[in-house]
Amino acid sequence: MPSNLPPGVSEGMIPGNRPEDTADEAFWLALEEKFEKECPDHAPIIESIFNGKFDLGSLPNPANQLEAAVVALVTVAREMGYNVGFDEGKDQQAIDEAEAAEAAAYEE
């Protein structure tokens, strides 16, 4: 099938079609779901900011509530990032241990 793409360019190279774009979208969706579940009091504040409908006057103590909501969002995102990194580290450790066991068995 003919393509309008330049030579050497595949559809997977186009922004929005790349694997990292899919991972990025999955992260934001997971963050939103986890934040809404773990921080139901703060979620409406952050959602209104993302939707462009945030009104400082609608909060009784706007600066403190906004700060608490942002800190809660960053905390959830940080925990998610740590867990992903920790899981990747565990996977790498398992690979390293298997390679070491294989090398030890080969030396015997």
- Tell whether 7 is covered by a domain: no
- Tell whether 10 is covered by a domain: no
Percentage above 90 pLDDT, the chain: 18
pLDDT in tens, 48-80: 888 888 776 777 777 788 889 999 999 999 898
Q: Look at residue 6 and give its three-state secondary structure.
A: coil
- Tell whether 92 is covered by a domain: yes
What is the model's pTM? 0.60
Sign, CA dihedral 30-34-36-39, equals negative
Q: Which two tokens stand for residue 38?
A: 């773990």
Q: Please name which of 56, 76, 57, 81 lies closest in space to residue 66, comparing C-alpha atoms.
A: 56
Rounded average pLDDT over 9-31? 80
Number of structural domains (the chain) is 1
